[in-house]
Amino acid sequence: MISRNRENLAALSDEAVALALKAGQAEAFDELVRRHQGRVYAVAYRMTSNREDALDVTQEVFIKSYRRISMWQPTGGFVPWLLRLTTNQSIDHLRRRRRRRHETLDGVPGHGPGRIETEPAKGGTEHDVRANEIGARVQAALDVLSPAQRSVFVLRHYQGLQLAEIAPILGCTVGSVKVHLFRALKKLQKELADLRAG
């Protein structure tokens, strides 16, 4: 019976599964997690630059989505709502992390920001090593962006969303998204200028 419910849920759209969860069908939550945990983790990782933080954010996002499903409205689509939770949770996590860092590192001379973790390069070719180094530099450079700029950049360049899709996720206009993206790109060009020269 449970496996049949899972099969039925697997054939439904995200919105239909979310409506099933809203109606109290517990298996619907498992289906939504199965479908979207990779995407939520990817956004959280790009936002936090840290595997453990991204896992924490991902877990918190799904807990919040379960608790707040009654607030979700199908007119806006489920994925934009979930990505809004993810970006907001990531921003909150970054703010808490910065506060903790300031509290614990006050007065410690020469202590810089935390180590950036990156996914290890697959294989050992020179191209793979260089690509991994560039990826690490780009990920580290995201720290110079404001939370809004970082959110727009991650959703546009890592998730491939259109500006019109990003605007409702962040609760702003397309014009604001364009401004945030423009400023993010200018800052990243400045941070990564030596890569272009090299």
Mean of pLDDT over the chain = 85
Give per-residue pLDDT as tens, 25-74.
Answer: 989 999 999 999 999 999 999 999 999 999 999 999 999 999 999 999 88
95 compared with 6, residue with greater pLDDT:
95
State residue 117's pLDDT score. Answer: 44
Question: If you average pLDDT over residues 143-172, what whole number do you get?
Answer: 93
Given a cut of 50, whether residue 183 has pLDDT beyond it is: yes
Which residues, in sequence order, are CB contacts of 120 under 8 Å at separation 6+? 132
State residue 177's pLDDT score. Answer: 96
Specify the pTM.
0.77
7 compared with 45, residue with greater pLDDT:
45
State residue 198's pLDDT score. Answer: 53
Calpha distance 17→143 (Å, rounded): 36
- Six-digit token string for 28: 């619907």
Among 82-86, 91-95, 129-133, which stretch is predicted with the lowest mean pLDDT?
129-133
Residue 160, class by beta-carbon neighbours within 10 Å (0-12 exposed, 13-18 middle, 19+ buried)?
A: exposed
Calpha distance 170→182 (Å, rounded): 16
Given a cut of 50, whether residue 112 has pLDDT beyond it is: no
Calpha distance 70→24 (Å, rounded): 10
Given a cut of 90, whether residue 19 has pLDDT beyond it is: yes
Helix, strand or coil, per DSSP, at residue 198:
coil
